[in-house]
Amino acid sequence: MTPRAAGTLVVLTALVAACSPSRPDTQGVASDDEAMAARIGEYFERNGSSASWYESIDTIRVDDGVITVETSLELDGADRQAGREICSLIHGSDEADFTPGHTIDGADGASMPCPARQRV
């Protein structure tokens, strides 16, 4: 590879990295929870990164299999629909199963419970 081509590649790689949404931080209380949070973060990146609210996700936290998504959304206002979409994404992951208690936390101090997923 010529030095010019290598330089162009470096610039293009930097541009892609700058334009790509970053994956939210993930945290788990126990090692199983940490692994689950990482898988959910990857799932969100694959299936939600094009959503307008994706950059508002700060942390995906898991405690005993219960998922909490911490965001900078105003859940008491206009961003409530975004919270519903995040709940749907949680339920769409293989990780959530039928565990109840998943929540979305907003910047305004509001906490939005995700509806329990029903078996059909």
Domain that holds residue 57: 23-113
Q: What is the pLDDT of residues 32-79, one digit of tens each?
A: 999 999 999 999 999 999 999 999 999 999 999 999 999 999 998 889
Within-domain flag for 55 = yes
pTM summary value: 0.80
Within-domain flag for 73 = yes
Within-domain flag for 39 = yes
Structural domains in the chain (count): 1
Within-domain flag for 99 = yes
Residue 5: the pLDDT is 57
Residue 21: the pLDDT is 65
The number of beta carbons lying within 10 Å of the beta carbon of residue 77 is: 10
Give the dihedral sign, CA 8/50/40/21.
positive
Within-domain flag for 56 = yes
Provide, rounded to the nearest whole percent, the portion of the chain with pLDDT above 70.
Answer: 82
Within-domain flag for 6 = no
Higher pLDDT pick, 15 / 35: 35
Number of residues in the chain: 120
Within-domain flag for 44 = yes
